Structure formats: C-alpha cells, structure tokens
Amino acid sequence: MTRFLGKLFPQESPLKLLYEHARLVEKSAEQIPVALGKFLRHEPVEDLAQLVDKLEDEADEIKVRIREVYSKLKFVYFDRVDLLLILHDQDAVIDAVDDFLKMLCIYRFDKPLPKELTDMLFELAERVQDAIKFMVESVHELLKLVESSFSPAVVGEENALTQKVESDESGTDRLSLALAKKVFSLKNVLHPVDIMYLEKLTRLLTRAADHAENVAEKVRMIAKS
C-alpha cells in the first residue's frame, strides 16, 4: 500500500493560516498611529508604507495558500464559503490600512491642523487599531472553538468578544461622524484640498474598522451554527 494516508490531510491547517493572515493584518494596523504621528510632524512615512506593503504581500501569499488547500479538500468544520468570506474581509482590512499609509505619502498640509482635530484623528486611529486587535482575538478564538469541538463555553467567549468589536466599531462610526462634522465646520479655516484629504483618511480608517467588525460577526455566526 503506497503512502497515500498523508494526502488525506492538509499539509497546512487553513484555520491556522487564517490566524497567521490576521496577525499580519494586526501588525500592519499597529503602524497606523505611528505613521499618523510622523505625518503630522511632517516626517517621512514612506518606510512605514513600504513595511505595510510588504506585510500585504505576505498576507496575499497566505491567501493563495488557503485557497489552494480548499480547492483540493472537503469535509470542513463549517461552510468553506464562510472562511473564505472572513479571509476576504481580513484582506479588505489590510488593503484599507495599506491605502491609508499610501495616502499619507502623497500629500502634506501647508499649515498645522487645529489640535482638536489631530486629537480626534489619533483617537480614531487608536479605535481602529483596537477593533482590529479584537478581530484577531476572535479569529484566535475560532481555533479554540474547533479544538473544544464547539463547546458552548467557548461559543459564549466568542460572543462576548464579538460584542466588544461591535461596540468598538459603533464608537468608530460615531467618532468618524464627529470628525467629519468638525472638518466641515472648519471650512473657512482649512484649505478645500485639506478637507477633501481629511475626509478620505477618515473613510479609509472607518472602512478598516467596518471590515474588522464583519470578521468578528462572521466568526460569531460560525460559532452559533
């Protein structure tokens, strides 16, 4: 009998790869406040943009590996489409972070921004980073969920975590709205291009938080199924 038994199993666990992918997203999100600080101090952020670009490339490689595993194998813990949708959302988060960093590279404010505005920007950046951190935790919980054979206790932990991400995301939404209001209220102080630029930065950050929330919600749906 040839050694075919090994072929029955995947060489790499797609769930562990998904977590690895999420960790890269988290690493890229850690650069958001750092890059924002440098940007506002008029320091170059290209090196950080390059780092995130590299992380995105690594994440893309993992994405390909996950898809390859799924193209050959069946009998998953849950619907394959769910896992691929989570992957898609995680990918959208790192894309948004990458776009944010690139955006910081292409423009400079002529005048310093009002302190109230920069504070709000920093707060938004930190909240987005937190949402992504919780997203990674919820993907990690997915591994525990599988190990525990979908234990109700772990499902409960997963629910609590999803609620954290959701509340963080709604806080991000409120903050981005307040930020947008503040930006437009300063229409006579800021340059029109600055307003447009700030609005774009805010949108990219909220997009990242939105997708992080989507991941946590999908994980919760899997846990409940």
Q: Is 5 in the site for other proteins (CB under 8 A)?
A: yes
What does the block give as tokens for 162? Answer: 């999803």
Give the residue with the Cβ less far from other proteins, 9 or 41. 9
Give the residue with the Cβ less far from other proteins, 76 or 81. 76
Q: Is 82 in the site for other proteins (CB under 8 A)?
A: no
Within 10 angstroms of residue 191's Cβ, the number of other Cβ atoms is: 12
What does the block give as tokens for 51? Answer: 């780092």
Select from 41, 42, 64, 72 the one that contacts other proteins (CB under 8 A): 72
CB of 221 to other proteins, least distance (A): 16
Q: Which stretch binds other proteins (CB under 8 A): 4-12, 52-60, 96-104, 216-224?
A: 4-12
What does the block give as tokens for 52? Answer: 């995130």
Q: Is 3 in the site for other proteins (CB under 8 A)?
A: yes
The mark string for 153-172 relative to other proteins (x by CB under 8 A, - otherwise) is x-------------------
- Inter-residue contact 166 to 160 (CB < 8 Å): no
Q: Is 8 in the site for other proteins (CB under 8 A)?
A: yes
Count residues binding other proteins (CB under 8 A): 33
Find the length of the chain.
225
Interface with other proteins in residues 89-148 (CB under 8 A): 144, 146-148
Measured CA to CA, the distance from residue 144 to residue 49 in angstroms comes to: 33
Residue 107: which H helix or E strand, with range?
none
Q: In 3D, which of 116, 130, 115, 94 has the Cα closest to residue 211?
A: 94
Give the CA angle between residues 37, 39, 42 to the nearest 5°: 115
Q: Is 14 in the site for other proteins (CB under 8 A)?
A: yes
CB of 83 to other proteins, least distance (A): 10
Q: In 3D, which of 123, 44, 51 has the Cα closest to residue 94?
A: 51
Q: Is 64 in the site for other proteins (CB under 8 A)?
A: no
Measured CA to CA, the distance from residue 31 to residue 205 in angstroms comes to: 12
Select from 41, 42, 149, 192 the one that contacts other proteins (CB under 8 A): 149
What does residue 112 show for φ and ψ, rounded to 5 degrees? -65, 145
Interface residue list for other proteins (CB under 8 A): 1-16, 69-70, 72-77, 144, 146-153
